[in-house]
Amino acid sequence: MAAAAAAPMLGGPAAALTQAQANELIGRVMADVQGIINSGSSESQVITRFEQLFTRYADVPTIARSALGPPARSASAAQMSAFTEAFRGYLARKYGRQFRRFAGAAAEVTGARQVQSFWEVVSTITMRGEAPFEVRWHVSDRSGQILFFNLIIDGVNVLAAERQEVGSMLERRGGNLDRMIQDLRQAG
Amino acid sequence: MRHRWLAAFFAIALIAGCARAPEPGVNDPYESTNRAWFDSNLRLSSAITGSEEAPGETTPPRASPFRRALSNVGGNLGLPSSILNDLLQIRPARAAENTVRLVINTTVGLGGLFDPAGAMGFHGRRSDFGETLHRWGVGEGAYVVLPVFGPSTERDSAGLVVDMLIDPLRFVLPAPEYGYSSAVRLGGRLADAAEYSDLLDANVINTADPYAQARLLYLQTRRYHLGVEVEEEIIDPYADF
């Protein structure tokens, strides 16, 4: 419902994004990820490069707003931009470290399907001697650019997990957004 | 009188249910008990693996040959049970692949110490009676945390009990050997857990609310592997505003 109402304002229906474009984005993202994790760089370099990768290929402001949930509505513009910045760094630290596990793995786009207003691009990751698993990427052009906004790693919905985490962090600080942002800068 | 008491109980339950923020896909009426078991399981696992909360440690654990072998043997001993469940679910292709694994790894793989079947591309797929119940149309029920076994659901805990009763190994091996085989399977599970301890640390232990994260991760991965798609869990952030 909300999507249908919002679509005209954002200019153009969601169908404007083709499967080929969504696949192409994810192909590039995975090639970049492999470049980073197979480079033999130090952990801090890997994290910096992951942060750049998120800036380039992911709709971080939208992910951050969605992870924050309802408190985003009452946050000031300054708080939102501080939160988005802290959240980007946190994502890069938390997931950049974990992605190093997949060094040497083969990754390829193996399918795609349209879900609601976006594309879900399915990629298969194969580590030597282990059963392959899927990473599903959610891609949209609703921000005005073709970007991914969520990924499902072997069934784990990253945005859902981060909604939970950000919600818990906020709750533990009595709903104080500024304190949460400050702590998020160290987290991950 | 009794009816009135029941009505009051349901009214309270309803109000309590409404007071909680709606979390799609979370059915956790035993949360306080679950949290207690969750904490005690964590203490137990850190006592066994000796892992401490160490945020500074970031290198993925190396696969030690001993751990790998223990994991292989344990996994191999679990295969007859998986095959039985594949058959109960009328999934002949999965039963066949798991059987190929069992035969190859028991013989060429020296009793399951090695995993030549996996190297040939036969990775197989673990199954259990919880999945069989799902296949038979039983819903997952409430989320529960079992002592020692950890996160589960009402349906999957019932499945766990049935799996112990109908395990084909129980009928093939004499009593002491069957006991050893169960111990090795448990050891295999612990070896798997140790292998992925860095993932557990990053995604559960070092989060603001480890219990809530473990619940979310367990339910999501379990549903994913059973092929259950929960429509309301799909997040479309562009539809929100």
pLDDT of B137 over the 60 cut: yes
Q: What ipTM was assigned to the predicted interfaces of this complex?
A: 0.88
- Report the amino acid identity of residue A36: I
Looking up tokens 């533990």 gives A172
pLDDT at B39: 96
Angstrom distance (rounded) from CA A41 to CA A24: 26
pLDDT of B54 over the 60 cut: no
Contact B237/A66, CB-based, under 8 Å? yes
Cβ neighbours, 10 Å, residue A28: 13
pLDDT of B25 over the 60 cut: no
Kindly state the average pLDDT of the residues A121-125.
Answer: 97
What residues in chain A have their Cβ under 8 A from chain B's Cβ atoms?
2-3, 6, 10, 43, 62-63, 65-66, 94, 97-98, 100-101, 115-118, 129-132, 138, 140, 142-143, 149-150, 152, 154-157, 159-161, 163-165, 168-169, 171-172
pLDDT at B52: 52
Kindly state the average pLDDT of the residues A35-63.
Answer: 95
Please identify among residues 53-82 of chain B the ones whose CB lies closer than 8 Å to any CB of chain A.
Answer: 58, 60
Q: For residue A167, give the 3-state DSSP assignment.
A: helix
Kindly state the average pLDDT of the residues A18-28.
Answer: 96
pLDDT of A5 over the 90 cut: no
pLDDT at A73: 95
Give chain A positions within 8 Å (CB) of B221.
Answer: 154-156
Kindly state the average pLDDT of the residues B31-58.
Answer: 78
More confident residue, B45 or B144: B144
pLDDT of A121 over the 90 cut: yes
Token pair recorded at residue A143:
């921000």
pLDDT of B209 over the 90 cut: yes
% of chain A residues with pLDDT over 90: 86
Give chain B positions within 8 Å (CB) of A98.
Answer: 198-199, 202-203
Q: Which of A2, A142, A161 is closest, CB to CB, to B216? A: A161
**pLDDT level of residue B51 (50, 70, 90 thresholds):** low
Angstrom distance (rounded) from CA A122 to CA A145: 20
Angstrom distance (rounded) from CA A4 to CA A117: 9
Collect all residues with Cβ–Cβ distance below 8 Å to B169 and sequence separation of at least 6: B77, B80, B81, B178, B181
Contact B235/A159, CB-based, under 8 Å? yes
Mean pLDDT of chain A: 91
Q: Which of A10, A97, A132 is closest, CB to CB, to B202? A: A97
How many Cα neighbours within 13 Å face the side chain of A163? 21
Alpha helices by DSSP H, listed for chain A, are 2-10, 19-37, 43-57, 60-68, 71-74, 77-99, 158-172, 177-184
pLDDT of B227 over the 50 cut: yes
Token pair recorded at residue B200:
């557990």
Q: Which of B125, B233, B238 is closest, CB to CB, to A142? A: B238
CA nearest neighbour of A96 among A134, A58, A61: A58
Q: What angle do CA A58, A61, A64 make, to 5 degrees?
A: 100
Least confident of A102-116, B39-53, B162-176: B39-53
Least confident of A71-75, A81-85, A100-104, B5-9: B5-9
Q: Which of B217, B233, B238 is closest, CB to CB, to A140? A: B238
Kindly state the average pLDDT of the residues A159-166.
Answer: 97
Q: For residue A118, give the 3-state DSSP assignment.
A: strand
pLDDT of B9 over the 80 cut: no
What φ, ψ does residue B184 adopt, rounded to 5°? -65, -40
- Where residue B25 falls (left for φ over 0; alpha for ψ -120 to 50; beta otherwise) is left
Tens digits of per-residue pLDDT, B11-22?
334 333 333 333
pLDDT of B36 over the 80 cut: yes
pLDDT at B233: 86
Kindly state the average pLDDT of the residues B177-181.
Answer: 93
pLDDT at A12: 47
pLDDT at B57: 45
Mean pLDDT of chain B: 86
Contact A107, A26 (CB under 8 A): no
pLDDT at B47: 83
Contact A130/B123, CB-based, under 8 Å? yes
Q: What angle do CA B123, B189, B217 make, to 5 degrees?
A: 85
Tens digits of per-residue pLDDT, B86-108?
999 999 999 999 999 999 999 99
pLDDT at A11: 45
Q: What angle do CA A149, A150, A153 make, to 5 degrees?
A: 155
Looking up tokens 């009794």 gives B2
Question: With DSSP H G I counted as helix, E B as strand and the rest as coil, what are the percentages for chain B, rounded to 5?
Answer: 65, 5, 30
Kindly state the average pLDDT of the residues B169-174.
Answer: 93
Please identify among residues 198-227 of chain B the ones whose CB lies closer than 8 Å to any CB of chain A.
Answer: 198-199, 202-203, 207-209, 212-213, 216-217, 220-221, 223-225
Per the DSSP assignment, residues forming a β-bridge with A126 are A106
Angstrom distance (rounded) from CA A109 to CA A87: 27
Angstrom distance (rounded) from CA B38 to CA B43: 9
pLDDT at B197: 87
Sign for the CA dihedral angle at B67, B203, A108, A132 comes to positive
CB under 8 Å, gap of 24 or more: what pairs does B36-41 form? B37/B145, B37/B146, B37/B147, B38/B145, B38/B150, B38/B151, B38/B210, B38/B211, B38/B214, B39/B211, B40/B147, B41/B145, B41/B147, B41/B148, B41/B150
Q: Which of B212, B220, B241 is closest, CB to CB, to A156? A: B220
How buried is A17 (Cβ within 10 angstroms: 0-12 exposed, 13-18 middle, 19+ buried)? buried
Per the DSSP assignment, residues forming a β-bridge with A58 are A148
